[in-house]
């Protein structure tokens, strides 16, 4: 029965995110970020071992909270649904992503380049100061794609597989990666464990994100076949083991091309092109379609996560009954 309540909670939490978005103040993810920043100040050393200790210390309270919440409510249907919904709402970022995309499209359409440069910092850590309108549009579409995979599909996947602890743990891991998972002098070693852990937990859901996005290309006037073709051809060109699957699928779905030089923390990264070279470059119209794709991918992922939660719950009960039967027959 708990799996049914959790499935309902996943749907309800996704609806809550779509309706209410993120709170302006006191966001649970911001609380976690404050906790992790405090830990970093006290634990930082230029060491992989120290970084591993930091990652474990940062995530442990979140996982414990998730496990306690799961166990206290699993036999109380209403409570379990409410807690699952609250956790889902807290970890999802679909509404905010789509809203940022629309705001960026409006500013580029109005030729407000300085405002658009500032807004890009809401989506990614890329240095926007020298970017023109085309590069700002590209950065926005890439960020919407990757963040939809990270902050929507991946979290819902782990919510389906591992319940409330899965939701909270994944969001914590992804937040740590965003804080310390950089290849620069400060974090190359200290952030390595957090970055590798994020890569590991995103491996399956990132590819699922590409499949879902390709299937839904028609909702943004794109071609599912083209999105699928571009994803399979170009996904492995991305330097990230996971980022290319969603970005390549979106390049095909939106009939545009992504990739190229990007500046992060004073270092230029030259990324291979994703999408057909002859496809038009992203613009404000592309961003608006990308924002719509955020919404459709979020809705579809919530539905799939709910079904997945029911399947996982059924399998878990079957295993539990079989284990009890074997124990009783001894």
| Rounded percentage of the chain residues whose pLDDT exceeds 90 | 81
Mean pLDDT score, 310-319:
88
CA distance 317 to 239: 40
pLDDT band at 154 (very low <50, low <70, confident <90, very high): very high
Q: How confident is the model at residue 264, as a pLDDT? A: 63
Lowest mean pLDDT among 51-65, 111-125, 190-204: 111-125
Q: How confident is the model at residue 330, as a pLDDT? A: 61
Average pLDDT value over all residues in the chain? 93
pLDDT band at 272 (very low <50, low <70, confident <90, very high): confident
Taking only the tens place, the pLDDT of each residue in 95-113 is 999 999 999 999 999 999 9
| Rounded percentage of the chain residues whose pLDDT exceeds 70 | 96
pLDDT band at 50 (very low <50, low <70, confident <90, very high): very high
CA distance 122 to 119: 5
Q: Check pLDDT > 70 for residue 266.
A: no
Q: Beta strands of 126-279 (E only): which ranges?
A: 258-264, 267-274
Q: Which residues of 158-192 are buried (b: 16+ CB within 10 A; e: fewer)?
A: bbbbbbbbbbbbbbbbbbbbbbbbbeeeebeebbb
pLDDT band at 1 (very low <50, low <70, confident <90, very high): low
CA distance 21 to 124: 19
CA distance 247 to 136: 16
Q: What is the pTM of this model?
A: 0.94
> ∠ at Cα 171 (18, 11), nearest 5°?
35
Strand 267-274 relative to strand 258-264: parallel, antiparallel, unpaired?
A: antiparallel
Query: 129, 117 in Cβ contact below 8 A?
Result: yes
Three-state DSSP state, 27:
coil
CA distance 194 to 264: 18
Query: 197, 173 in Cβ contact below 8 A?
Result: yes
The dihedral formed by the CA atoms of 274, 249, 265 and 104, expressed in degrees to the nearest 10: 110
Residues 6+ positions from 225 with CB-CB distance below 8 Å: none
Residues 6+ positions from 185 with CB-CB distance below 8 Å: none
The conformation of residue 193, written as its DSSP 8-state character, comes to: H
Query: 146, 243 in Cβ contact below 8 A?
Result: yes
* Secondary structure (DSSP) of 33-53: HHHHHHHHHHH--S-HHHHHH
Domain count, the chain: 1
Q: How confident is the model at residue 146, as a pLDDT? A: 95
Residue whose tokens read 């994020």:
198
Q: Residue 271: which domain range?
A: 2-328
Could you tell me which of 277, 294, 276 has the C-alpha nearest to residue 220?
Answer: 294
The dihedral formed by the CA atoms of 57, 61, 64 and 70, expressed in degrees to the nearest 10: -140
Beta bridge partners of 274: 258
Lowest mean pLDDT among 71-75, 250-254, 261-265, 322-326: 261-265
């Amino acid at each position: 029965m708990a799996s049914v309540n959790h499935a309902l909670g996943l749907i309800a939490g996704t609806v809550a995110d779509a309706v209410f978005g993120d709170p302006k103040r006191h966001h649970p993810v911001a609380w976690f970020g404050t906790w992790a920043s405090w830990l970093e100040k006290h634990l930082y050393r230029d060491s992989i071992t120290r970084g591993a200790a930091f990652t474990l210390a940062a995530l442990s309270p979140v996982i414990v909270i998730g496990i306690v919440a799961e166990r206290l409510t699993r036999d109380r249907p209403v409570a379990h649904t409410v807690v699952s919904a609250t956790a889902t709402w807290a970890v999802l970022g679909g509404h905010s992503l789509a809203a940022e995309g629309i705001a960026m499209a409006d500013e580029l359409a109005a030729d407000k380049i300085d405002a658009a440069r500032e807004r890009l910092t809401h989506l990614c850590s890329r240095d926007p100061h020298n970017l023109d309108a085309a590069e700002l549009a590209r950065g926005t579409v890439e960020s919407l794609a990757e963040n939809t995979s990270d902050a929507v599909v991946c979290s819902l996947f782990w919510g389906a597989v591992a319940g409330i602890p899965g939701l909270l743990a994944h969001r914590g891991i992804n937040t740590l990666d965003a804080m310390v998972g950089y290849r620069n002098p400060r974090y190359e070693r200290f952030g390595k464990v957090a970055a590798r852990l994020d890569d590991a937990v995103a491996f399956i859901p990132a590819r699922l994100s590409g499949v879902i996005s390709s299937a839904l290309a028609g909702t943004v006037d794109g071609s599912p076949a083209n999105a699928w073709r571009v994803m399979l051809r170009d996904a492995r060109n991305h330097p990230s083991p996971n980022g290319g699957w969603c970005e390549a699928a979106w390049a095909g779905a939106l009939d545009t091309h992504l990739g190229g030089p990007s500046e992060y923390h004073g270092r230029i990264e030259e990324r291979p092109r994703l999408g057909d070279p002859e496809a038009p470059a992203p613009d404000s119209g592309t961003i608006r379609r990308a924002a719509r794709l955020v919404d459709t991918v979020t809705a579809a992922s919530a539905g799939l996560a709910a079904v997945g939660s029911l399947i996982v719950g059924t399998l878990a009960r079957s295993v539990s009954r079989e284990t009890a039967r074997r124990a009783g027959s001894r």
